Amino acid sequence: MIYVSNHGGRQLDHGRGAMEVLPEIVAAVGGRVPVIVDGGFNRGTDIVKALAAGADLVGLGRMQCIGLAAGGSAALVRLLEILETEIQICLGLLGVNTWAELDPSYLHPAPPVSTGATLGSFPLLTLEEQSFY
Ligand SMILES: Cc1cc2nc3c(=O)[nH]c(=O)nc-3n(C[C@H](O)[C@H](O)[C@H](O)COP(=O)(O)O)c2cc1C
């Protein structure tokens, strides 16, 4: 198995994100072994994107910590249920019945519509302050 991760972005600041390097690693692996990816997967649609890009598995770090902190194991289970529902809705809206039907043709680059802050490196800074960095 190949594990694609930048360790949650904490090892090498400003390094490339796991999703950015995933396609080239999937191409190099060529299906010989499963590929797992982690880093910044916070919504069901994020997970769908990773599988469309060729990952076989997605790892979750901070999201599970947030669930546990919010309400222990029951909240963690609820968090995973919400992710599952988001995935089902996304696949349904894409018209996809199985994971195998997903491929990179479902992905299209798009500029961010807002600056991520809540789970970002500097969540307490204003947009103006963030643009300084
Ligand atoms: C509480 C916590 C501790 C972690 N400790 C380490 C660590 O010691 N070494 C490491 O390489 N990555 C560590 N990570 C990063 C995870 O292995 C994983 O790559 C990352 O959490 C995935 O990104 P995500 O948190 O956005 O889902 C840690 C993550 C969390 C949430």
pLDDT tens digits in sequence order for the chain, 133 residues long: 999 999 887 777 778 889 999 999 999 999 999 999 999 999 999 999 999 999 999 999 999 999 999 999 999 999 999 999 999 999 999 999 999 999 999 999 887 666 656 666 555 555 555 554 4
96 lies in a domain? yes
34 lies in a domain? yes
Q: Does 67 sit in the ligand 1 pocket, CB within 6 Å?
A: no
* 97 Cα distance to chain centroid: 21
The CA distance from 19 to 4, in Å, is: 9
Q: Does 54 sit in the ligand 1 pocket, CB within 6 Å?
A: no
110 lies in a domain? no
Q: How many domains does the chain have?
A: 1
Q: Does 40 sit in the ligand 1 pocket, CB within 6 Å?
A: yes
115 lies in a domain? no
pLDDT value, residue 133 = 43
Distance 6 CA to ligand 1 centre (A): 9
48 lies in a domain? yes
Q: Is 28 helix (H, G, I), strand (E, B) or coil?
A: helix
The residue contributing the CA closest to ligand 1 atom 11 is 7
User: pTM for the complete prediction?
Assistant: 0.86
124 lies in a domain? no
**Residue 50: which domain range?**
2-105
pLDDT value, residue 83 = 97
23 lies in a domain? yes
